[in-house]
Amino acid sequence: MARSPTVSGARACSSPALIAYTIFAIGCGLATSFPMLLALRFGHGLVSAALGVVVVAVIRDLFAGDAMAKRLSLIFLVFMIVPIIAPTIGAGVAALAGWRAIFLVLAAMAIVMLLWLRRLPETLDPADVRPLDWRTMVAGWATVTRHRRAAGYMLASGVMQGALFGYLNSSEQIIAEVFDAQTLFPLVFACVAVGIAIANFSNAAIVERFGARRVSQTAVFAFMATAMAQIVAALSGAETLVVFTVLMMVNVGLIGFIGSNFGSIAMEDFGHMAGVASSYQSFAKTLLAAATGAFIGQRFDGSTLPLAYAFVGCAVTGLVLVLWAERGKLFTRPGTAPKSPF
């Protein structure tokens, strides 16, 4: 009987993804029509998502608990810095060599990563190699879904990330229409992004001392309190762009203390199937966050109140999910956390 192909680990899975990424990038750079460019960009984004899953799987292969949360914070810090500087770099490349050169630069970067990948060891324990078939993947998804703590933190992370997406969907309208400061949008956006970067850097510094649960759960309460302050500011009629920016910098920054920690807690018990768990959780969180963010964005009514109310709603929902996941016990450390029956 022929054996099923196996998942050989994050390093082995990264190579095909990077090769496909390179091919799609070159294709985008050589596209001869807009529909062709859209189709190639779709494939480009699809394989890019695979690389994001690999990052979390590798970290889970090597670390667990608060140590994993620390490394995820550093990864998310990079994810926040890159969107800030990437538009400037892209604009410079396009100005020098045209828009097609942007994709050729991406292809060159992928080739460099492919060469560097050959230097990296495989992180997957040989004992954890799993068959690569639909039955195994569906069984893995079901395991994650039935795992009370993983499911609770996965959904809570998606809701809180949805608040961030809601801000991203609403921010330009708010700054342009509520504060009549459209020209200041890049500055406000950068200030808020810096807040998230600072939070992730701070989380990496403190999470191993205080624990992922204590830090993230405290951040949820702080997020809720700041959102209520946003409501008060909006209802006062005296909210200025400076007040809005400061409150958003604090509140969106608090998501930096939540996302990586919730993600590490959700992955705690899946060291033996990190790739499957990471891909499923990333899909579920992103889908929930996108839906939540779209809903929040559609609520804009010419004021900042819908966003502030949505932030409170996301915080309350996230807290309820965490309470369910932890069976009502908050601020525990890994050694004292309630154990899942699965």
pLDDT band at 335 (very low <50, low <70, confident <90, very high): low
- Residue 8 pLDDT > 70, yes or no? no
* Average pLDDT score, the chain: 85
- Answer whether residue 294 shows pLDDT above 90: yes
Q: Grade residue 158 by pLDDT with cuts at 50, 70 and 90.
A: very high
pTM of the model: 0.80
Q: For residue range 162-192, what is the model confidence (pLDDT) as tens digits?
A: 999 999 889 889 999 999 998 988 888 888 8
C-alpha atoms less than 13 angstroms from C-alpha of 100 in its C-beta half-sphere: 8
Mean pLDDT, residues 46-71: 79
Q: What is the pLDDT of residue 12?
A: 58
3-state secondary structure the chain: CCCCCEECCHHHHHHHHHHHHHHHHHHHHCCCCHHHHHHHHHHHHHHHHHHHHHHHHHHHHHCCHHHHHHHHHHHHHHHHHHHHHHHHHHHHHHHHHCCHHHHHHHHHHHHHHHHHHCCCCCCCCHHHCEECCHHHHHHHHHHHHHCHHHHHHHHHHHHHHHHHHHHHHHHHHHHHHHCCCHHHHHHHHHHHHHHHHHHHHHHHHHHHHHCHHHHHHHHHHHHHHHHHHHHHHHHHCCCCHHHHHHHHHHHHHHHHHHHHHHHHHHCCCCHHHHHHHHHHHHHHHHHHHHHHHHHHHHCCCCCCHHHHHHHHHHHHHHHHHHHHHCCCCCCCCHHHCCCCCC
- pLDDT-based confidence at 338, cuts 50/70/90? very low
pLDDT of residue 309: 96
Are 198 and 257 spatial neighbours (Cβ–Cβ below 8 Å)? no
β-sheet bridge partners, residue 6: 131
Give 262's pLDDT tier (boundaries 50, 70, 90): very high
Name all domains of the chain by residue range, CATH numbers in brackets: 6-126 (1.20.1250.20), 137-328 (1.20.1250.20)
Between 7 and 54, where is the model more confident?
A: 54
Is the CB of residue 307 less than 8 Å from the CB of residue 226?
Answer: no
Selection from 59-68, 104-113, 125-134, 138-147 with the highest mean pLDDT = 104-113
Strand partners, 7: 130
pLDDT value at 92 more than 70: yes
Asked if residue 95 has pLDDT above 60, the reply is yes
Higher pLDDT, 159 or 79: 159
Give the pLDDT of residue 1: 37
pLDDT tens sequence across 194-243: 888 888 888 888 988 899 999 999 999 999 999 999 999 999 988 999 99
Query: Is the confidence at residue 5, as pLDDT, over 50?
Result: no
Q: At what angle do helices 241-266 and 65-97 cross, to 10 degrees?
A: 130
pLDDT of residue 83: 63
